Every structure is written in structure tokens, then in C-alpha cells.
Amino acid sequence: MPYGPTKIFGILAIPSLALSQPSFALDDTSAIIVTATKIEKDIQDLGLRVSVVEGDVLSTFDGAEDLTQRVSGLQAAVANGSQVAFQIRGIGAVDHQALTPTAAAVYVDGTYQATNVQTSPLLFDIDRAEVLKGPQGSLYGRNSSSGAINFNSVLPGETKTGYIGAEYGTFDRINIVGAATLPVSDIFSLRLSGRYLNQDATLDNVVTNDTVTAPKEAGGKRDEFGLRAIGRLQASPNTEVFLNAHYAEDNGINQAPLNSSRDVDKHEISIGPDGIQDTDNEFYGTSVNVTHDFGDFALVSHTAYTGYNQQYGFDFDGTPAPFNVGSLNANLAYDRDFTQISEELRLSFNTDKVELMGGLYLEAEDFDQEYLIWCGVLNPDTLLGTCRYVGAPGRAGPTPASTGTATTLQSLITQSRKTAALFTYNTIEIAPQLDVVLGGRLTHEIIKGRGEGRHYFDDGIIALNNRDGLGLAKGSNKISDTRFSGNIGLNYTLMDNTLLYATYSNGFKSGGFNGEVINNATHFSDEGLFGGETVDALEAGIKFSRENVAFNLAGFYQFYDRPQARIFVPFATENGGSFTSNSLSNLDEATSYGLEGDISWTPVEGLDLFAGATWLDTEINQEENPNVPQNAATFDGNPLPFASKFSGVVSARYEWALSDGLNASVQGNGKYQSAFFLDAEGLEDRRQHGYEIIDGSANLHFNSGIDVGIWGRNLSNSDYAVSGFGFIGYNMFRGAPRSYGVSVKYSY
């Protein structure tokens, strides 16, 4: 194997992920080996819940959010085109600002993805994805309060292999993929891979106001490509080096949201032309992973540099004419730059009786963002729109700097973060068939933020915001925090094929700065920051595998302290309407508990079946609303957002021989999730009803290496929200409708 028994699971790659069930029998020769604990191990020997999706399934995904269709108990809020916040067992802040990482720590080939912007660029040539459920504070550290998700690229081997494939489908979808392993010498091999995806708008933009046109491209357009190179160097018999570099671009058009006031049909939105903007996003990075084995010891170093720059935007209000005034709207644009450098150093010692590991993690990040809201057509030199943005005058304060009209809002923020952590994770045999698992992590981080919020008057005056007269919107602050997180568990091997386990674990998600609208001086005060959240979890389960069947069942109870949540606060406008200002805040506490299980079965050769389900109950316990103290009942007793009471996944694949040189296969998979709320306020118009997603495909496999097939996605044509936010009513980003197409692939 390219990574030996103590080797880390990967190297930096284009941020991507996906998960699901195995597509083969589970017998002694086909055990599923995962690296969830950063040591290669059979999944059935781990005393924690891990869902795995193999590469053939991952190849059908466009972005990380598709993973949710294959794993029960996993949901995601998708906003602003490509920002994905994962929720595992109901835990995870539903937030769209880039300064807020997801509560499920996302790793791509061993490199932590520090912002939610990095969690869903294009997927391609991925070998395996792993979803770890429950807090992962020991091995994965900060921002793993709900779990962790690992994506692992295909690594170069010693044999020349590769493939090239293409597909065409509805919405003029063109998808081209390719990869090749090139053994350059006895000690060096190279894996090159890439993908190009182009697709027209999937949602229809319809006219609901006769004075405003409805351009087609507002329904979202994809124009993306990604390239990756991984080199494997056997520097010595005991030293292996992986070198990785990647680059990706997103040049499409972000989908606009649907405002709740629009009366439209399924898979339709309604906006005008002003907010449509071209996207210019770049993602890049390199890493070096070195493993040196010496006896029972192994030393691993993983050094990575990654970053992105973004310029994109969309119609923020989701309507062609807010308050039925055609010249009154809100368009939003982001300009972001982010870089991250990290180093993880681990030393492990493995014998038949113990697996010991200790390590050091260091990371530094820098983030800059310009956030701009305007009305009508923007003048790039003056930053003035052709009409008045509805929220700008209110930010001028009680003594405006000009007698003109405030039209445009601009917020500038810079943040730096430095993190250092010491960690250990150990499995020790304390009696025959009984192991104790002990882990801990001490994390220290320093976060510095500064910025200012401005409004632009139509007479050329630029002034700092001063909403409610609370002081000029300019400032800085510093957060210094030290946390301990860890786990303790018992694993009992009842028989060779049955594991019983019980564990306690905890994790935390960092606090920080609100990274978007800067209203006044309180933004950077201690009271204007959001604090860290923690999760303490108890879990017990059983894992059983025998010949062609594997079964897993677990029960869990999670104590969620100071959960982070985006709070939407309405403000009245002078014409009798209202708009909403929002920020990330902490609720008091919540609970999350339930049962989940899955079964994989191969009843006959060629037929693979899988079913999994999660039953979940969550509840917020809130004594005081953080932004509106007189209305504590707004949150108390509500379920957590994106926390369906029930979610279930099923899949089936059957392959058989048609002749000596030709096989055929059919497969289908589906997921149902019951109703859930899009945010913590629990309002009925922010409730997504239960829905199902069903996908399927059929293929012919020729011995020459050629595959041809047909495929379909969302065959039930479900219409559903993938996230929402409050602004001039409530706005929702929507999922894609039914699509289908043909594919061809040549492998060698």
C-alpha cells in the first residue's frame, strides 16, 4: 500500500469529498481499510461510527454537498454558490460567512480546510471518503464538534493506468474527466488528473413583475475545471515522500435565491438583471507528506500551503422589485483572499498490544474580504449604484455626514489566526479482547480581526457606519483561547467478527468575528464577537461482519453548549417594509440524541445491497434571545436547524455477464429525510418539508476497457431548499431538478 500501517491518509488536493456504502462483499479478503484514526485499520475494528464511500460512487459527484445523499444523519447548508456547512447528527452552525468554518472538520488528503469556502470545489479522481460521526477533538482538534470528513485522492502506483471519460446531459451539461499514473522510474511515479464541467442554468428565472426582465443565467451556470498532480518518491527503503499540487477555477454564475414573496412553480426563481455577476474563483495549493519507518516506530510530517481568491456575487434580495418598487433592490458582491500554511508532525509506536501516537500541529491563516451591497447598476469607480440600497440610510446614524442619500454599503475585514496544538491518541490492550482508547488535545489559538463599515452617499461623501448612534464602525480586537478536548472509550471484541464499544468524546468549535456587515463600534467589542461552542457526547454501539454481510448499530447522546447560530433581526424601513440584519451569536445550549444503523449485504455474486438510517431528536434550551432579550421564546424548545428527525439511505447495484467480453450493470440509490428548519428560529415559512432524492444508472462494460451508460439524478424531481437567510422577507437557495444523460469512459 502507498501508505503503510502508520502512514497518513493523504496529501493536499482540490477540496472535495463524498461518502457512502461499500459496493462489494465484506469478507476476509475485502475488508474496508480506513485511516480515520490516522493509522490504517479495518473499519469494523474501530470503536466509532465511520461511513465510507468508495471512488466509483464519488466519481458521480460534482461537489462535496452530494455526499449528504449517501449518508444518513449527514446534512448540509449550501449558500452563495459553493459554501457548504455540514451538520452531523444535527450539530453544526448554519452560516454563510467565510470566516465561519463548518463544525465538521473537512480534510482533503490530510490537509485541513479552514473555511467553508474550501469545502465544495469540483470533485474528481477521488479514491475514498470517510465521515466520522461525533466530536473528534483528539485527532482533528478545533472545529470538529460534530465530526470530521476526510477525502482521499487516488495515489500513484507502480503500474501504468488511467482513464478518460465524458458525459452529456440535460441543461447542456458537458463533463470531461481524465487521469493517468506514470511510473517514471523504479523509485518515482506520478499521478495526473483533471476535470472540466460546463452546465447551463438548472433553475428557471421567470417574470413576476412586468417592468423587470428575467435573464436565464440567474438560475446558475457552471464553468469549472481542476488539475492535480501527485508524485510518489521512494526516497529510501524506509522513507516515502508524496508531493502534491493542485489548481482549480470556477468561472460560472452563482445561482440567485428565491424570495418567499414570489409565487412561482417548482424549480423557479424570479429576479431582475442587475444582480447577475460573473464569478472568478481560484483555488490552489501544494503539500509534502513524508513518512519514515524505523522498527515499530513511524514518523510522519505533513506540510501544506493552500489558498484561494474569490470575486463573485448575486441578487441579494431574491426579488425583481422589492416592495414592488422596481428601482429598489439589493445586489451583493464578495472579494476575498485567503492563505493557509500548516505543519503536522506525528510519531507513532505500534505493536500487537498497543498503538501509541503523539503529535504537534501548527497553522497560520490570513483572510481579507470586501463585502459590498448596492442597488441597480454599480459604478466600479465611485461604488455608487443607480438607486438606493434599502439598508444604507439606516447605517448613516442619527447625525449623517452628508445631506445626500446613503446608497451603498461596504464592509472591509482582515483576520489572522495562529494555532498550535499538542495531541495524542492511543489504543491499549488491558485484557484479552478488551482495549481502552485514550486521546487528548491541547489547542491554543490567537485570532486577530480588524475592519470598518462604510456607506457611500450619492454626493460622493464616504462615511463610517453608525447604526443606532453606538459609535463609528471601525475597530479591532484579539481573541486568545486555550482548550482541552479528548476522548476515552472501551472496545470489546466479543468474537472475531463482533465488536462492542462505548465512548465519551468532546470537541469544540472556535469563536470569532462576524465577517460581513459592520454596523457600528460594537462590532469589534467583546460583546460583538461570538464565542466557541462545545459538544460532549456519549455513544455505545455494536459492529458485526461475517462473510457477505456487515451490520452496525449505535446510540448516542450529545450535550451541545453555547451552539453558534445565525440570528436574523428585522428593522423597519421608512416606506413601511422591513429588511433584516443578521449576525452569528451563541444560544444557551441544546441536546441531540438518537439511534443509527446500517447494513451491507451481498446475497449473491454481483449484487450489492445497502441500507442505513438515523433517528434523531434535537432541542434548543434558550433562556434569553441573544439579540432580542424580550423574546426568549423565539428559540426555546425549537429543534436545531438542518436536523431531520429521520433520514434513510438505500442503494443497490447488480452486475452480470452478457457474454465473454461484455458485462452489464444497473444501480440505484436514494435518500429520504424528514422535515427540518433552515435556521434556529423555527418559523413555519423557514421549514423544508420532507423529500427524497433518487438517482440511477445503467452501464455496459466491455473487456476492452470501454464503458457506456445512461444516468439520471433526482428522478423524483423533488424541489427543496438547500439553505436560507433573512433579508427583505426570507430567501432560499434551491436544489437542482431532475437531470439525465449519457456517458462514455475508456480505462486502461
Tally of domains within the chain: 1
> Does residue 274 fall inside a structural domain?
yes
Measured distance CA(270)–CA(321) in Å, rounded: 10
Whichever domain contains 531, its CATH number is: 2.40.170.20
Residue 143 has pLDDT above 70, yes or no: yes
Residue tagged 424548545 (cell numbers): 637
Measured distance CA(663)–CA(700) in Å, rounded: 6
**Taking the alpha carbons of 51, 54, 56, 59 in that order, is the dihedral positive or negative?**
positive
> Does residue 6 fall inside a structural domain?
no
Provide the pLDDT for residue 329: 85
| Bridge partners, 293 (sequence order) | 298
Provide the pLDDT for residue 732: 95
Measured distance CA(418)–CA(684) in Å, rounded: 41
| Bridge partners, 555 (sequence order) | 540, 595
Mean residue pLDDT of the chain comes to: 90
Per the CB < 8 A criterion, the answer to whether 14 and 108 are in contact is: yes
Separation of CA 400 from chain center: 41
Over residues 587-614, mean pLDDT = 96
Measured distance CA(612)–CA(666) in Å, rounded: 20
Q: How confident is the model at residue 350 (pLDDT cuts 50, 70, 90)?
A: very high
Parallel, antiparallel, or unpaired: how do β-strands 173-183 and 549-561 relate?
unpaired
> Does residue 28 fall inside a structural domain?
no
Over residues 385-396, mean pLDDT = 86
Residue range 688-745, pLDDT digits in tens: 999 999 999 999 999 999 999 999 999 999 999 999 988 888 999 999 999 999 999 9
The letter for the amino acid at 514 is N
Separation of CA 207 from chain center: 33
Provide the pLDDT for residue 18: 30
Residue 13 has pLDDT above 50, yes or no: no
Q: What is the CA radius of gyration of the chain?
A: 26
> Does residue 1 fall inside a structural domain?
no
Provide the pLDDT for residue 632: 55
> Does residue 2 fall inside a structural domain?
no
For residue 515, give the C-alpha cell.
Answer: 465577517
Find the DSSP H helices in 81-127: none
Measured distance CA(346)–CA(355) in Å, rounded: 13
The letter for the amino acid at 186 is D
Over residues 386-413, mean pLDDT = 90
Find the DSSP H helices in 363-434: none
Q: Determine if residue 407 is left, alpha or beta; phi over 0 gives left, psi from -120 to 50 gives alpha, anything else beta.
A: alpha
Residue 6 has pLDDT above 70, yes or no: no
> Does residue 116 fall inside a structural domain?
yes
Other beta carbons within 10 Å of 255 = 26
Q: What 3-state class would DSSP assign to 322?
A: helix
Residue range 651-684, pLDDT digits in tens: 999 999 999 999 999 999 999 999 999 999 888 9
Burial (CB count within 10 angstroms: exposed 0-12, middle 13-18, buried 19+), residue 220? buried
> Does residue 24 fall inside a structural domain?
no
Find the DSSP H helices in 452-580: none
Provide the pLDDT for residue 45: 82
Over residues 534-553, mean pLDDT = 95
Measured distance CA(269)–CA(320) in Å, rounded: 10
Measured distance CA(23)–CA(665) in Å, rounded: 12
Residue 196 has pLDDT above 90, yes or no: yes
| pTM for this entry | 0.91
Domain range enclosing 631? 33-747
Percent of the chain with pLDDT over 90: 74
Integer angstrom CA distances of residue 630 from 168, 571, 589, 729: 55, 16, 18, 22
Provide the pLDDT for residue 569: 59
- For residue 544, which of 506, 599, 605, 584 has the smallest C-alpha distance? 599
Q: Give the up-direction half-sphere exposure of residue 653: CA atoms within 13 A in the CB hemisphere.
A: 17
- Max mean pLDDT range (112-116, 391-395, 426-430, 581-585): 426-430
Provide the pLDDT for residue 327: 72
Find the DSSP H helices in 398-437: none
- Max mean pLDDT range (79-88, 94-103, 157-166, 390-399): 157-166
> DSSP states of 59-83 as a string?
TT-SSGGGGGGTSTTEEEEEETTTE
Provide the pLDDT for residue 626: 53
Q: How confident is the model at residue 11 (pLDDT cuts 50, 70, 90)?
A: very low
- For residue 410, which of 449, 437, 380, 443 has the smallest C-alpha distance? 380
Provide the pLDDT for residue 548: 92
Percent of the chain with pLDDT over 70: 92
Residue 12 has pLDDT above 80, yes or no: no
Per the CB < 8 A criterion, the answer to whether 305 and 285 are in contact is: yes
Provide the pLDDT for residue 630: 42
Parallel, antiparallel, or unpaired: how do β-strands 104-108 and 147-153 relate?
parallel
Measured distance CA(594)–CA(567) in Å, rounded: 26
Provide the pLDDT for residue 25: 30
Q: What 3-state class would DSSP assign to 206?
A: coil
Which residues does 350 contact at the CB level (< 8 Å), separation at least 6? 5, 6, 39, 296, 298, 356
For residue 167, give the C-alpha cell.
Answer: 458525459
Residue tagged 451539461 (cell numbers): 173
Residue range 489-535, pLDDT digits in tens: 999 999 888 999 999 999 999 999 988 899 999 999 988 888 999 99
> Does residue 263 fall inside a structural domain?
yes
